[in-house]
Amino acid sequence: MAPKIDPAILKALSLDTTTTTIASHGGSGFASTFKITSKGSNGEEKLFFVKQGKGRESEIMFAGEHFSLNAIHSVVPSLCPKSYADGKLSDGAGAFLATDFLNLSARSSSGSGSGLSLAEKLAKLHSIPAPIPDGYDTPMFGFPVPTCCGDTQQDNSFKSSWAEFYADNRLRGVLKSAERNNGKDSELSNLVERTAEVVVPRLLRDGHLKAAGGGNIRPVVVHGDLWSGNHGRGTIGNGGLEEVVFDPSSSYAHSEYEWGIMRMFGGFSGHFEREYHALKAKDDPAEEWNDRVKLYELYHHLNHYSIFGGGYRAGALTIMLDLLRKHEDEK
């Protein structure tokens, strides 16, 4: 039996039931996924991608993804699908997200797109200052809504200091999640706290970490979960073939934060890195770039330990011990 389109989705997208169909498409670890095909009054076909999930968790997750996609799309429209709507399903027991349809099986015959490489697009995304949030008079580190990295809900409360945001909202935040899921862990907790108190200010403090062109670093939109499984080549709607990203967990962050997950799982070549840094130079001190990226990678080891348990704990311990050994005695 073909799935039915929930009335809340039809209303949010202003679709005509007589010219709209839905079919299962792809898969997700946290949601059911569908392709919606609809024809407008002019006969033009419009394609949407829809996720549906259950419970309050899916509502938070989809709201975060909605804001994330549109934050990225507003800076580099060809980099990701636009999100049109998110909200509760009509029965109130679940939620949905509706975006442009992303066809990752498209081929070169689909037509040419912008012609920009992924490195070019990412460098542009990381070079445009984040917007000023409502109620503030300057760009802030954080995000308007919580986001989820995997199924870990992230507190994106705004802070003016990147070091404070990373220590509190990321490292201490994910430690709480890991201990909820895997039990109290005094060794892990003590090392996370020492890293937050010593290594984070040593590498990221205001006045020490500077933008490559001079001045303080500025928050920019980051994807937040950019590993090889969340990017590819495809068409967005009726557009041409593009380098694209999806499933973001965005925030207004230090641009180099993106490299933590990118380095953890690889998939980004030396050529990619050189092309990116020719456009977006390493921030200063440039010689500390590898340590900053290792510090950012730590968050994802902790998050994977929170979600999956197992060997990711050992990876997190190794990173913290290495960074503490190098920086704990520095003045």
Task: Name 220's bridge partners.
Answer: 129, 253
Contact (Cβ atoms closer than 8 angstroms) between residue 95 and residue 87: yes
Q: Of 120-129, 164-173, 231-240, which gets the smallest average pLDDT?
A: 231-240
Please tell me which residue, 105 or 204, carries the higher pLDDT value.
Answer: 204
- Segment 85-110 shows an average pLDDT of 89
As a whole number of angstroms, the distance between CA 125 and CA 17 comes to 38
Domain boundaries, the chain: 7-100, 118-328
- Chain segment 42-78, per-residue pLDDT in tens: 778 999 999 999 989 999 999 999 999 999 999 999 9
The one-letter code for the residue type at 227 is W
The fold of 118-328 is: Aminoglycoside 3'-phosphotransferase; Chain: A, domain 2 (3.90.1200)
As a whole number of angstroms, the distance between CA 234 and CA 222 comes to 20
What distance lies between CA 27 and its chain's CA centroid?
Answer: 19
Phi/psi at 49 (nearest 5 deg)? -110, 135
Phi/psi at 129 (nearest 5 deg)? -60, 145
Secondary-structure class of domain 7-100 per CATH: alpha beta
- Say if 7-100 and 118-328 have the same CATH topology: no
As a whole number of angstroms, the distance between CA 172 and CA 166 comes to 9
- Chain segment 162-200, per-residue pLDDT in tens: 999 999 999 999 999 999 999 999 999 999 999 999 999
